[in-house]
Structure 1
C-alpha cells in the first residue's frame, strides 16, 4: 500500500493536473463509465462536527475508493482547517487497499477545478469581470483556478463579514488584477462570471441582481438545507451539475425543485457538454448555472493522479498492509 501524506500534496499536485482529472471524470460520468455510490453525511453529536463518506468507481480510470471526513467548526481555533478528509483507494481487480492519501488540500483543489471546468465550458468567451461571493478559505483556490479560464480584467467581491475581503484583495493582487469590494447589486451588475462559495442556509444572491449572459458557479451548497442563490435564479438559468441526483437532494437545485419552479429533467450534466452531447451555452444573453455539489469521483480522480506523481517522484511511502 502506498501512503501520500497531506504535507506532500502541495509539492505534487498543480492546478493543471487537477483540472484535467476533474474534466476527465465529469466526462466519464456522463458517458456512464463512472458512478458515485450513495453519500453518507451525519452530525456525530460531538464537537459540532459533520462526518461522512463519498465513494464511487470510475471504470475508465480504474479508480475505486472513498473519501472519509467532514467539517469540524472548531478546528480553526486549534490551527487546523475546518474541513478534514482522507482518501482511500482500492485495487479494483482484487479489492486490496492501494493507497492512503491526505485529502484536505486535494478537496480544496478539486472543488476549485470543478468551477473552473464549468467556466471553461459555459462562460461567455468575452467574460471580463469575475465576481466572488464569499471570502473564506476556499475562495482563494476558486479565484486562482477561475482566472486561468478567461482573460479577466477585474475581480469584485462581497462577503457577510467585510473584514475578510482582504483575502480576495490579496489573491487578486497576486494575480495582477484590480479588486473592488462591492454590494451584491453592484456585483451582479458588473460580473460576467460569479462564484458563490459560502456555507449559507438562506439565499444571498437573487435573480434580479444578475445580468443576462452571466455564468454562475454555485460551489457552497453540498448539504440539505444549504442555499446560496434564490429559487428564481436557478429556475431562470440553464442549469448544469456534476451529478443530478446530488443536485436535487443536497445541491442548489433542491430548493427550486421543492418549490416547483423547475423539474429534474431540466438539469443537465456538465460532463455532457464536455463530451459534446449537450450544446451548453446557446447565446450571449443566456444565464448558465453550475450546481457544484462535490462528488466522490472527483476526490478519487485527483487522489489517483497524485499517487502516480508521488510514486514517480519517489515521494510515496510504501508499507506492507
Structure 2
C-alpha cells in the first residue's frame, strides 16, 4: 500500500492535469460509467461534521471513499476547515492500493471542476473575476480561472478586510494580474464576468440585483440543505447546472431553498456538467445569459484525482510504501 502525503499530492496533481481528469470523470458519471452514493454525514458539535463519500470508477477498475471532516468553526484558528483522506482499492481484487491526503485533493479538484464548468459556460472574452472568500479555495480558484479564461483583473472580498488585503499581497506575488480589494460584495461583483463564491457562509452573500448580464457564477461554498451563499433571485435569474442531479436535490440549499419558496421549479436545473461536456445538453445561448454552476463535491471526483495521483506516484517513485 502506498501512502501519499499532502506535499506529494500538491506536487503530483497539477491544476491543468486535474481539470482534464475532472472533465473525463464527470462525463463518465453522467454516462453511467461511474457509480457513487450520496455522502453520509455525521453531525458533530458546533455545526461541524464528518463525511463519508464512496465511489467506483468502472473503467479504471478502482473503488474507494473519502473520509473528511468539515469544521467551519476552524476558520480563524489556523486549522483548515476540510481535513481527511481518500482510500483507493483495486475493484477486481479488493486490494488496498493507496491512502492519499484528502485536504489538498479537495482544494485542487474543487477548483478544477469549477474551471471545467467555466470553460463550457463562461463567455470566451470573460476577463474580470470576482472572488468572494479568501481561504484555500479562493487561492485554488484563482489559479484555475486563470487556466481557462483571459483574466486581467480580480476583485476579492472578505468579511474581514485585513484577510482580503493579505490575499491581495500574497497572490500578487504569485500571479502577474491586477488584484483589487473590494470593501463590499456589490463592489466586487458588479462588473464581474465570472464570480466564484467560496465562503463558509450559511446565509446569502450574493444578490441577484448586483449581477450584470452575461456573468457566470461558480458557487461551491455551501454544501448542506439549509445553507446557501446565493439569494433566490440569483438562482432564479440563472441557467443552473450541477455536478450531480441527485446531490443537488438532496444537499444543495442554494437550489432547495428557492425551490421550496416557489421561486423556481424542479426543472430549473438544466443538467449536469458531465452532460454539458459530452454535448448532450445545451450551454450558454447568448452573451447576455447568466449561467450558474452549483458544485457540491463528489466522491468520484476525489477518487479520480487520487487514482491519477497514485499512477503518477508509481511512475515517479513517490509516496511511502507500507506493508498492510
Fold similarity call, TM over 0.5? yes
CA distance in 1, matches of 2:277, 2:96: 31
SS in 1 for 2:150: coil
Which residue number corresponds to residue 17 of structure 2? 17
CA distance in 1, matches of 2:245, 2:31: 14
Q: 1:58 to 1:262 in 2, by over 3 A?
A: farther
* TM-score in terms of structure 1 length: 0.94
Q: Do the aligned residues in 1 keep the contact of 2:16 with 2:147 (CA within 8 Å)?
A: no
Q: 185-194 or 268-277, which moves further after superposition?
A: 185-194
Q: CA deviation at 1:34?
A: 1.3
CA distance in 2, matches of 1:26, 1:133: 25
Q: CA deviation at 1:277?
A: 0.9
SS in 1 for 2:148: coil
Q: CA deviation at 1:190?
A: 0.8
Q: Do the aligned residues in 2 keep the contact of 1:122 with 1:215 (CA within 8 Å)?
A: yes
Q: Does 1:296 align with 2:295?
A: no
Which residue number corresponds to residue 246 of structure 1? 247
Q: Does 1:214 align with 2:215?
A: yes
The 5 A counterparts of 1:92-241 are 92-169=91-168, 170-182=170-182, 183-241=184-242
**RMSD (CA atoms):** 1.8
* TM-score in terms of structure 2 length: 0.93
Q: 1:105 to 1:216 in 2, by over 3 A?
A: same
Q: 1:78 to 1:157 in 2, by over 3 A?
A: closer
Which residue number corresponds to residue 257 of structure 1? 259
Q: Do the aligned residues in 2 keep the contact of 1:221 with 1:228 (CA within 8 Å)?
A: yes
Which residue number corresponds to residue 282 of structure 1? 285
SS in 2 for 1:286: coil
SS in 2 for 1:195: strand
Q: CA deviation at 1:35?
A: 2.4
Q: Do the aligned residues in 2 keep the contact of 1:127 with 1:152 (CA within 8 Å)?
A: yes
Q: CA deviation at 1:90?
A: 1.1
Q: Does 1:69 align with 2:68?
A: yes
Q: Do the aligned residues in 1 keep the contact of 2:38 with 2:247 (CA within 8 Å)?
A: no
Ranges in structure 2 where 5+ consecutive residues have no aligned partner: none
SS in 1 for 2:12: coil
CA distance in 2, matches of 1:135, 1:79: 13
Q: 276-285 or 56-65, which moves further after superposition?
A: 56-65
Q: 1:167 to 1:269 in 2, by over 3 A?
A: farther
- Pairs aligned (count): 320
Q: 1:89 to 1:128 in 2, by over 3 A?
A: same
SS in 2 for 1:144: helix
Q: 1:178 to 1:25 in 2, by over 3 A?
A: same
SS in 2 for 1:228: coil
Find 1:315's aligned residue among 309, 315, 318. 318
Q: CA deviation at 1:44?
A: 2.9
Q: CA deviation at 1:77?
A: 7.2
Q: CA deviation at 1:74?
A: 6.0
CA distance in 1, matches of 2:295, 2:74: 25
Ranges in structure 1 where 5+ consecutive residues have no aligned partner: none
Which residue number corresponds to residue 273 of structure 1? 276
CA distance in 2, matches of 1:315, 1:90: 18
